[in-house]
Amino acid sequence: MFSPTYHGRIKPVMTARHTSHYNVGHHNQRRHPMPTLVHACRAILALALCSLAVPALAAGYPDRPITFIVPTTPGGAGDTVCRELAESMAKKLGQPIIVENKPGAGGIIGSKLAAKAAPDGYTIVLGIDSALAVSPYLLGALPYHPKRDFAPIGQIGTVQFMLVAAPGSGIDSTAALIARAKAAPGRIPYASGGTGSVHQLAMEIFEKDAGIKLEHIPYKAAPQGFADLMGDHVSVMFIAVGTGLPAAASGRVRALGYAGTHAKDGMQPLSKTVPGFSFESWFGLFAPRGTPAPVVARLSSALKAALQDPAVASKFITAGVEPTWSSPATLEHRLARDIDTYHGLLAKLQANAG
């Protein structure tokens, strides 16, 4: 039924039947917000449970073995220090730490595996400054982002380098190398652990400061390049002190100088011949980004304790690594700073490669 027009429209007349239908419909409309409210409550409850779960996870962490990815070949400085760390940290954490070597592409292959791992604290990785701060510029797109995909745990130490020459190269001093390089630009081959490796970076800085140009021969890993250096297949190379010193002492290579700022182990600093030159690399410990903060803190504490162990520190120094712990925040700052610092140099490397 309809009544006369109401404000220009036809006003419906509510019968008992209509009223009953209208009230039911109106009642249902008033109930519509309820599912939304229920969903909101569920979401709040889930967040609350998650906030409780993180401390619980940290309290029970670790409850199974931890995988430690080392993106270098066995036997090098990185592998040596990681095995020492794994043993010491395992005692403090109460669970085994299994070292897995995943070398290749200047550390990129192992770093990628770690970046894609579950962020639960059961995968950690040796972070090498070249793979994180250098490779993004030398190699373009990477399968990981150095800042976004890794959670810093702490710095492990700094790696000290020395410049060595092949035994049959006829190069017996830094001055002799520079003189020969200037007489034959781009003709003296040097080895590295691959494009974007710390060995290449050290040599590129040395070339720039000395005003010379050498021929880069990249290898899959530093030990392979070093073996060819000892076999006189290449002429010179920057290598970790822990690897280079024993070889120099036995006459398998010739020590030309130390890349630090002061004399070390009987070697004069290269800066004595090339003013202003110095170079060091660093190792850090990282986890996949998203690893709970309490878990990162637990790992960082175990790392710090391990580096303070005199027995561990002694083996680090023998391998040519100065044990140097830093907090996660400090390591994150250093990585960001190094990316900025190397940007200009790496742009030059890309231009030369082109």
Domain membership of residue 1 (yes or no) is no
Domain membership of residue 4 (yes or no) is no
Residues 176 and 260 reside in one and the same domain:
yes
Domain membership of residue 10 (yes or no) is no
Domain coverage including residue 335:
63-158+283-353
Q: Is the peptide bond before 62 cis (omega within 30 degrees of 0)?
A: yes
DSSP H stretches of helix in the chain: 16-31, 33-59, 77-93, 108-115, 129, 135-138, 174-183, 198-210, 222-230, 241-249, 293-307, 310-318, 328-353
Sort 317 into a burial class: Cβ within 10 Å, 0-12 / 13-18 / 19+.
Answer: middle
Q: Say how far apart CA 200 and CA 268 lie, in whole Å.
A: 21
Domain membership of residue 298 (yes or no) is yes
Residues 296 and 331 reside in one and the same domain:
yes
The reported pLDDT for the residue numbered 43 is: 52
Residues 123 and 220 reside in one and the same domain:
no
Domain boundary residue, one of 223, 240, 272: 272
Question: Between β-strands 66-70 and 123-128, what pairing exists: parallel, antiparallel or unpaired?
Answer: parallel
Residues 182 and 233 reside in one and the same domain:
yes
Domain boundary residue, one of 272, 297, 326: 272
The reported pLDDT for the residue numbered 171 is: 98
Q: 10 Å Cβ neighbour count for 187?
A: 12
The reported pLDDT for the residue numbered 196 is: 78
Mean pLDDT by 10 residues, the chain (354 residues): 38 40 41 52 52 58 98 88 96 97 87 96 94 76 89 95 97 98 98 88 93 95 94 97 93 96 89 94 96 98 97 90 94 91 69 59
Residues 346 and 309 reside in one and the same domain:
yes
Residues 197 and 140 reside in one and the same domain:
no
Domain membership of residue 46 (yes or no) is yes
Residues 108 and 140 reside in one and the same domain:
yes
Residues 154 and 299 reside in one and the same domain:
yes
Domain of residue 240, CATH code: 3.40.190.10
Domain membership of residue 6 (yes or no) is no
The reported pLDDT for the residue numbered 220 is: 85
Domain membership of residue 84 (yes or no) is yes
Residues 248 and 349 reside in one and the same domain:
no
The reported pLDDT for the residue numbered 10 is: 36
The reported pLDDT for the residue numbered 19 is: 40
Residues 144 and 166 reside in one and the same domain:
no
Domain of residue 81, CATH code: 3.40.190.150
The total number of structural domains that make up the chain: 3
Domain membership of residue 5 (yes or no) is no
The reported pLDDT for the residue numbered 351 is: 66
Residues 89 and 152 reside in one and the same domain:
yes
Residues 175 and 130 reside in one and the same domain:
no
Domain boundary residue, one of 205, 238, 272: 272
